[in-house]
Amino acid sequence: MYKKFALIGLVIALVAGIALAKAVKVDLVPYVDADGNVLEPNAYGKAMLNYAKGADKTEVQVNCWDLVPNAMYTVYLNNSGTWYSICTFTTDSNGEGHCHAKLAGDVSGHLPVSVNNSANQTVLISP
């Protein structure tokens, strides 16, 4: 009988844990403009937006590779058609860059994610 209650408690805890957090993972691919131009065709990246309901915060982690070495980039999120800058990073000598931001509320659905160069040209975007 005790085992049955323990199992029910475990299931409830797991369901509650799922309800308290959600993560959205997206690939970042080279952006192609309306004329078919691609600024950095070999670049790629990943973004994870992890919302913690209990803290009412979203952690955003962005990792990019094969960008221009030693260059500055800004990461943007889209909210109903408006782009918001959330973090900036400078790539290393291999063209790798990473940034991390904590944002208030649930912004895990604010897609796409965009990575722009210092001239504010979109280089990577989530599909």
Residue 34's SS3 state is coil
For the beta carbon of residue 58, count every other beta carbon within 10 angstroms.
24
Residues in Cβ contact with 16 at an 8 Å cutoff, skipping those fewer than 6 apart: none
Identify the residue whose tokens are 């005790």: 2
Q: Say how far apart CA 8 and CA 6 lie, in whole Å.
A: 5
**What local confidence, expressed as pLDDT, does residue 4 receive?**
52
Q: Say how far apart CA 67 and CA 77 lie, in whole Å.
A: 19
Model confidence over 24-34: pLDDT tens digits? 999 999 999 99
CATH of 20-125, one of 2.60.40.200, 3.60.140.10, 2.102.10.10, 1.25.40.10: 2.60.40.200
**How much of the chain exceeds pLDDT 70, in percent?**
84
Please tell me the pTM assigned to this model.
0.81
Q: What are the domain boundaries of the chain?
A: 20-125
**What local confidence, expressed as pLDDT, does residue 1 receive?**
54
Which pLDDT band, with edges at 50, 70 and 90, does 23 fall under?
A: very high
